[in-house]
Structure 1
Amino acid sequence: MYRSICSQILCLKWFKSPAEEVSTTDNEVSIMDMPDLVMRKILGYVDFITIMNLRKVCHAFRNFIDDTKLDYGLTRVCFVVRPSLIRVIIYRSNPMVSSYTDLITLNHVDPIILNYAKYATSSLVNINGSDRVTFLKEEDFLDVFSRDLRVILRNQRLSSMRLEIKEKDYDLVGSMFYKEFLNRNFTSITNKKYGWWSCCRNRFKSQWEFVNHLHAVNDVHFLKPSVDQFYDCFKTVLKSRSSTPIQIKKLEIQVMESYHLMDIARFIDIKHMKCLDIDRLRLDEDKEQFLDEIVELNGWECIQELTIRNFNINIPLERFLHKSQLNIQIPAISMEDVLFLKMKLLTSPVFENYTIYYDDPKDNMDQLFSILGRSETERVKHWYFRIADTKQLSWGGGSRCGIPIYGYHGNSDDDDDQEQDYGDDSD
């Protein structure tokens, strides 16, 4: 029986492994005939990659793993999206270290890196630590990625997720898969349009020849359609968890359109999110975009730290003042806005650090600066205001040139050696 179980586990292959037929004689038993308690015990000793492999053994095994709702110990997942390459970096907690989290190492074991590359109408897939590259004939690389993404995000809670967009990718793909092409013979694969019949051993004399070959077989792929397809895929996977929206404490997301964020945010448990960092990738001659619908997300008020880059916000600032940290951009700012911010932030129990960029001042900024009091410099203004009944200072600054209005809480004890000039906080 032990040999039967080991043979099932050790003979697995990455992607599309055919299920082995195991005879059920008096001396042998299928692994699926094991009691659930024993199966759960076995699965508790295998790592995440092995779990992904085991799911490909047979439908019964896959269903058992999915129904068991295993915790893979995933803490952070990063996605790097390019027109013809998706890289997934998975960080896991290390159960052998203390519960204290080191901010440098994050108590992680070595990350798992999965690479999914487009090769015409087929896919190339590899995993870090392995020289083996899997060629999946006539399978779109987004479909292959989507299948694995369902496993990665199934029943998981993440402390952090990052989605990043990159433009250039052929050089990177070439460096990843060039050696594999030197050692692989594609003569059994026929496609006259792309010339696979001639992709024989040592056909490519250098990595750069292989990069040119990738350009030829993949044609020209623009970034925007590729990003649209990725986020459609991501939304579909998150939607499949509709009964249990995924919980993410910190989300860093790079998008090209506001709907890239909004489409997937509806399938994330925003009430458990503490930090949201949104960055729009701007291209040449890109039009200005707004992200006012961010306040429509269910539970958005639970987000404590909010950063929005390259989107304008055109709703009242008071809708954001419950955040401890804020970084946004608005089209214009008025004297009333600044004085309102000063009044609210001096009495806010949560305020830590705000940066508010603006394009144009609505009023005469010289008049505003005179109301706030004397500042230390002329080009960029600085003011310090004492917070009542504390040793803390609220520090702010800004300029008349669209440089941000900003501020944070600090401790006046840190500046005892410096002569401070506090503005009049009677306004």
Structure 2
Amino acid sequence: MAPSLAKLMLSNETSLKVLGNSLIMEKVLKYSNAFDIHSFRKTCHGIRTCVDDLKLDPQFEVYVIYMITDKKIDAAARVTGYKTFKSISYEQINDCENIITTVLAVLEMNLKNQKACLEELRLVCSFYEWTVKSKEPLETLIPEKLVPITSEFLAGFKEILKRRSGLLKVKKLNLYSVREEDVMQVLPYLDPKSLEKLQIGDSHWLHGELYHKTDYPESLKISYDIEEMTKTEQWKNLRQVTVNTGILSTPIQKMNLTNCSKIYITSVARITSDDVVYLKENLLTPKLQSCTICFEEFVEDPQLTEFFGQPRYIERAVVVFKRDRRIWYFPIPGANGSMMEIDLDRKLCLENVDSFKYE
């Protein structure tokens, strides 16, 4: 808060009446950030009503919700023009409380008047404090705690987004430890013209990424299908897509990736020679930066060489990998000499390059 405002004694009755005037309060709030606005709201009913009636844009730049356990949730936010985050922790002390209701109420208050585009909205739907040893096995913790609390929170967040007077503008959406149906609780209710980047990850990926653990039970790994979300306007306008999942079952040609410039997918169940040709034909544009797709199974077709010609570079397979590494280059129309490099090995990489990797 500005030094001049900090000196104001809001306990003074005259000050309270003055700040209850909407014309005066509007001028005061021009020099305040979102957190100052919340402080004003807590002063008294008259000022809170005045602040709410003005419907000023809090101008959040980044907003993060981290569901640490089913009884503990952290929230953090940064406003435009500031480098530091302000955070708050919510803990459910007894069974009579509903931590989800509390967090959603604050979230709606914070975002209902947000008009500026959020640079990033990050929702981490975790379920277990891995730093604390539990007597319960993962097989019990994940289905019993992750799904209900995540579903309840995202269903509530969906209603918040639907109640807004306009679609929430977000440039980058990060959703971690979510299922495909969870993503659909948020994605269709964001402004499609603003959303450029989407990163999603399931609980299997989060388990390894955040906690550097490899003991995620095989029995809990589920197939991930993104076909429904790829049909949304929000997906079709994306520039960057990152999908970090155990196994992605959606066929490559149904992923609707042709508008993207940067793509990273950790693991698809199956990729074919037709898929490689499809990606080459549809991504061969100057906007391409890179496309990396890891796969479980590659279905080879002799016609791949007929379509692409002989690779410029071949690295013979060692016994462990059982597949030759092949690299092709294709000129990108209208790209001033840039080329698409297709590197097919244990994963498929398509990249915009200026020179040959191997002479």
Q: TM-score, normalised on structure 1?
A: 0.66
Paired amino acid for 1:42:
V
- Separation in 2 of the partners of 1:171 and 1:118? 19
- Separation in 2 of the partners of 1:161 and 1:325? 19
Segments of structure 1 that go 5 or more residues without pairing to the other structure are 12-19, 23-27, 95-107, 122-137, 173-207, 213-219, 421-427
Segments of structure 2 that go 5 or more residues without pairing to the other structure are 136-142, 205-215, 318-324
Find out whether 1:49 has 2:9 as its counterpart.
no
- Separation in 2 of the partners of 1:170 and 1:321? 38
Deviation, structure 1 residue 305: 0.9
Q: Deviations over 1:317-366 (max 9, x none)?
A: 583212111223543222232223333333x2322111123332233479
Paired amino acid for 1:140:
N
1:141 is matched with which residue?
99
Q: Deviations over 1:262-294 (max 9, x none)?
A: 012222112210111111223632221211001
Deviation, structure 1 residue 155: 2.1
Find out whether 1:114 has 2:88 as its counterpart.
yes
Q: TM-score, normalised on structure 2?
A: 0.77
- Separation in 1 of the partners of 2:15 and 2:34? 25
Answer whether contact 2:62 2:120 (CA < 8 A) is retained.
yes
Paired amino acid for 1:223:
L
Find the partner of 2:344 among 395, 398, 401.
Answer: 398
2:170 is matched with which residue?
248
Q: What is the count of residue pairs matched by the alignment?
A: 320
State the identity %.
20
Paired amino acid for 2:327:
H
1:375-390 correspondence to structure 2 within 5 Å: 375-379=313-317, 380-387=325-332, 390=336
SS in structure 1 opposite 2:122? strand
Find out whether 1:39 has 2:13 as its counterpart.
no
Deviation, structure 1 residue 411: 1.7
RMSD: 3.3
Deviation, structure 1 residue 58: 4.4
Answer whether contact 2:253 2:278 (CA < 8 A) is retained.
no
- Separation in 2 of the partners of 1:151 and 1:334? 49
2:155 is matched with which residue?
232
- Separation in 1 of the partners of 2:358 and 2:28? 66
Deviation, structure 1 residue 36: 2.1
Answer whether contact 1:84 1:221 (CA < 8 A) is retained.
no
- Separation in 2 of the partners of 1:312 and 1:318? 10
Find the partner of 2:74 among 81, 84, 87.
Answer: 87
Deviation, structure 1 residue 314: 2.6
Q: Deviations over 1:101-155 (max 9, x none)?
A: xxxxxxx33210111112123xxxxxxxxxxxxxxxx542222212211122122
- Separation in 2 of the partners of 1:270 and 1:335? 32
Find the partner of 2:190 among 245, 268, 272.
Answer: 268
Q: For residues 317 and 408 of structure 1, do their structure 2 counterparts lie closer, same or farther at Cα, with a shift above 3 Å needed?
A: farther
Answer whether contact 2:190 2:234 (CA < 8 A) is retained.
no
Answer whether contact 1:313 1:330 (CA < 8 A) is retained.
yes
Q: For residues 345 and 372 of structure 1, do their structure 2 counterparts lie closer, same or farther at Cα, with a shift above 3 Å needed?
A: farther
Answer whether contact 1:32 1:61 (CA < 8 A) is retained.
no
1:103 is matched with which residue?
none
Find out whether 1:259 has 2:181 as its counterpart.
yes
Q: Deviations over 1:144-173 (max 9, x none)?
A: 21221112212223011111233433868x
- Separation in 1 of the partners of 2:76 and 2:86? 6
